[in-house]
Amino acid sequence: MLIARHIDCPPCRLAAMTTAAPAMAAITPVDTRPEWKALVAHADATKQLHLRDIFRQDPTRGDELVANALDIHLDFSKQRVTRQSLQLLLSLAKACGVEAKRDAMFRGDRINVAENRAVLHVALRAPKGTVIQLDGVDVVPEVHRVLEAMAVFANRIRSGDWKGHTGRRIKTVVNIGIGGSDLGPAMAWDSLRVWSTPEIECRYVSNVDENDFHLKTHDLDPAETMFIISSKTFTTLETMTNAQTARAWSLKGLGGDEKAVAKHFAAVSTALGEVKKFGIDPANMFGFWDWVGGRYSMDSSIGLSNMIAVGPDAFGEMLAGFHDMDEHFRTAPLHQNMPALMGLMNLWNNQFLGCDTLAVLPYCQYLDRFSAYLQQLEMESNGKHVQLDGERVRWETSSIVWGQPGTNGQHAFYQMIHQGTKIVPCDFIAFAESLHDLGVHQDLLTANVLAQAEALAFGKTKDEIIADGVPAWLAPHKVMEGNRPSNLLLARKLSPRMLGRLVALYEHKVFTMGAIWGINSFDQWGVELGKVLAQRIIPELSAAKPDLKHDGSTNALIRKYRSWRGR
Ligand code: F6P
């Protein structure tokens, strides 16, 4: 059985780190700032205001509480903010040094203090010639060297020049990875299907549940299948287990010749030693760097499957889209800065209006996996309970992010969003132009998204319902209270470039919120304990006489499992 080393678990990682605490400026808890206190008072004073009143008092807000850049129109006028709320939120962002912290990230400062790392995903999409230095070394040339190597590999697979062990061309690429090494590429595969070559299908195996591997491979021919093992650390239990299974599956189907591995396996990782140990030819390994967080890595070589699907040019367009948004975030004043504004609206709803969740609702079927991708980006980044200096926070951090494409969601959970007792702020994402013109669809889709945002904001009163002729006894059931906040992102058209812009928009929104809270958005210690405990339980499931020393519930569950497995 394969047992992954604990490279990412706190004891092992800590052993490799210096014991000296990193130098760090004292963090002023955000709730002690006068700007925060002003927002608390303002929220209290305005909590009775309904969006109907807000629009009545401020009829031009639909034209003015918007931000426009890069073919994206952000309408945040249906948020429950007045102009004063907006000013107070912007003052808070300024007081918390969002701009200075942003500049520190772009400059390559080691802002991920708990792991003593820089956070330079922006370098992954920096055009050639940009200089971004880390410890005095410009990292951009190395980024482009890897991109060029990926392009050569991708083009060989796409053209059929790359032959498998039996001389056949590759028809299916299976990416094996999890978390940031899966969610981004899987989302981009769905999102960019229109740009993908019909010659090659990409599939994504992530779960250690063998059903996942079976489902994605049972109908494939090993002679025409390329596996990309994507793992920053190359030690993650799920990925390495699936990788070993893939290796065995491949060799079995190809006559057992070990030389076949070089023709059917590539790796994306920061860990050359681990990749070599697995038996993958280092020539087929594409690197990235410890300054790229897993959930910020889809535009690194982790996107190799996407580059194979859409080709180096379209992949380059996606990177250009990321860079467009980086430049917008880096240079636009806060009051026009889309990621900053979205971060502030999320913070307002989450903290000051007491809304725990955020629904992200793309009106585009190609963005089917966008909300799943954002769950890791937002919740792994900002689901933190301490500030950078280790002090417990006294305020709410990450929202619970969830969602589904519209209009399907409308016929599933929107009932609760409209009439339930919980307020669910929504980010609607819509496109002006469709990718396939089949007649009326795009207008119907757009009418639906606009209608949902309108209904959520303004609802329908009992008087209006009775005026429509509804009997008084039924009217309460039909009341729509409204006053439910939403953003509407209207983009011109989905494209590789637009996808890059949208992902970077959310990356920087997450950054803005983390900067205000004074937390580390770039570590993820919270996932470690479960990994360590799983390592302890693995042998206990099959050992002849395990000495179970867990709590009573866990011990009993292990015994039940063992008995049903005949152990
Ligand atoms: O879930 C924890 C995590 O470390 C994520 O941050 C990361 O995206 C994922 O595991 C996969 O890690 P790796 O790429 O090292 O296999």
pLDDT > 90? residue 24:
no
Taking only the tens place, the pLDDT of each residue in 92-131 is 999 999 999 999 999 999 999 999 999 999 999 999 999 9
Mean pLDDT of 488-496: 98
CA-closest residue to ligand 1 atom 4: 294
Mutation to probe ligand 1, out of 5, 121, 233 (largest number of atoms < 8 A from CB)? 233
The strand pair at 486-493 and 72-75 is best described as antiparallel
Q: Report CA dihedral (242, 248, 251, 256) to the nearest 10 degrees.
A: 160
Q: What is the pLDDT of residue 220?
A: 98
Å from CA of 321 to ligand 1 middle: 25
Mutation to probe ligand 1, out of 121, 181, 274 (largest number of atoms < 8 A from CB)? 181
Q: Which atom of ligand 1 is nearest to the CA of 302?
A: 14
User: Phi/psi at 130 (nearest 5 deg)?
Assistant: -70, 145
List, chain by chain if needed, residues with CB within 6 Å of any ligand 1 atom: 8, 178-181, 231-233, 236, 239, 294-295, 380, 524, 527
Alpha carbon 383 to its chain centroid, in Å, reads 13
Q: Which atom of ligand 1 is nearest to the CA of 293?
A: 6
Taking only the tens place, the pLDDT of each residue in 150-182 is 999 999 999 999 999 999 999 999 999 999 999
Alpha carbon 36 to its chain centroid, in Å, reads 28
Å from CA of 205 to ligand 1 middle: 14
Å from CA of 267 to ligand 1 middle: 15
Q: What is the pLDDT of residue 20?
A: 64
Å from CA of 346 to ligand 1 middle: 26
Q: What is the pLDDT of residue 305?
A: 98
Number of Cβ within 10 Å of residue 481's Cβ equals: 15
Q: Which residue has the tokens 């919120």?
A: 513
Asked about 380 being catalytic, the answer comes back as: yes
Mean pLDDT of 518-528: 96
Question: pLDDT class for 19, splitting at 50, 70, 90?
Answer: low
pLDDT > 60? residue 268:
yes
Taking only the tens place, the pLDDT of each residue in 189-240 is 999 999 999 999 999 999 999 999 999 999 999 999 999 999 999 999 999 9
pLDDT > 50? residue 12:
no
CA-closest residue to ligand 1 atom 2: 527
Both structure tokens of 63: 């034209």
Q: What is the pLDDT of residue 6?
A: 35
Å from CA of 501 to ligand 1 middle: 23
pLDDT > 70? residue 492:
yes
* DSSP SS3 for 227: strand
Q: Which residue has the tokens 């992949």?
A: 315
With beta carbons less than 8 A apart as the criterion, state whether 201 and 140 touch: no
Å from CA of 81 to ligand 1 middle: 37
Judged by phi (left if over 0) then psi (alpha if -120 to 50, else beta), residue 256 lies in left
Q: Which residue has the tokens 């015994």?
A: 559
d(CA 125, CA 150): 14
CA-closest residue to ligand 1 atom 10: 179
Mean pLDDT of 385-410: 96
Taking only the tens place, the pLDDT of each residue in 335-354 is 999 999 999 999 999 999 99
Q: What is the pLDDT of residue 23?
A: 64
Mean pLDDT of 29-40: 98
Q: What is the pLDDT of residue 15?
A: 44
d(CA 463, CA 503): 43
Q: Which atom of ligand 1 is nearest to the CA of 236?
A: 16
With beta carbons less than 8 A apart as the criterion, state whether 522 and 383 touch: no
Vertex 402 angle, CA 188 and 379, to 5°: 85
Both structure tokens of 137: 């070394």
Q: Is the dihedral of CA 73, 77, 80, 84 positive or negative?
A: positive
pLDDT > 60? residue 459:
yes
Q: What is the pLDDT of residue 278?
A: 87
Mutation to probe ligand 1, out of 205, 206, 381, 527 (largest number of atoms < 8 A from CB)? 527
pLDDT > 60? residue 493:
yes
The one catalytic residue in 411, 436, 477, 549 is 411
d(CA 479, CA 492): 34
d(CA 273, CA 488): 47
pLDDT > 60? residue 479:
yes
With beta carbons less than 8 A apart as the criterion, state whether 158 and 311 touch: yes
d(CA 540, CA 117): 36
Mutation to probe ligand 1, out of 238, 296, 524 (largest number of atoms < 8 A from CB)? 524
d(CA 275, CA 247): 13
d(CA 338, CA 323): 14
The one catalytic residue in 115, 238, 378, 380 is 380
Q: Which atom of ligand 1 is nearest to the CA of 295?
A: 8
Q: Which atom of ligand 1 is nearest to the CA of 177?
A: 16
Q: Which of 151, 379, 184 is nearest to 292 (CA)?
A: 184
With beta carbons less than 8 A apart as the criterion, state whether 286 and 113 touch: no
Å from CA of 134 to ligand 1 middle: 23
d(CA 445, CA 91): 37
pLDDT > 60? residue 249:
yes
Looking at every residue in the chain, the average pLDDT score rounds to 95
Question: pLDDT class for 277, splitting at 50, 70, 90?
Answer: confident
The one catalytic residue in 6, 50, 531, 550 is 531
Burial 17-56, CB ≥16 within 10 A → b, else e: eeeeeeeeeebebbeebebbeebeebbeebeeeebeebbe
Q: Which residue has the tokens 């299907």?
A: 193
Reported pTM: 0.95
Per the model's pLDDT, the better-predicted residue between 278 and 322 turns out to be: 322
Q: Which of 39, 40, 83 is nearest to 61 (CA)?
A: 83
Q: DSSP for 42-90, please give it.
A: HHHHHTT--HHHHHHH-TTHHHHSEEEETTEEEE-TTSS--HHHHHHHH
pLDDT > 70? residue 14:
no
Lowest mean pLDDT among 2-11, 222-231, 242-251, 302-311: 2-11
With beta carbons less than 8 A apart as the criterion, state whether 388 and 29 touch: no
Å from CA of 94 to ligand 1 middle: 33
Q: Which atom of ligand 1 is nearest to the CA of 269?
A: 14
Rounded alpha-carbon distances, angstroms, from residue 533 to 17, 237, 384, 539: 22, 12, 21, 11
d(CA 503, CA 508): 9
The strand pair at 486-493 and 426-433 is best described as parallel
Mean pLDDT of 251-272: 94
Per the DSSP assignment, residues forming a β-bridge with 486 are: 426
Mean pLDDT of 447-459: 98
d(CA 212, CA 193): 21
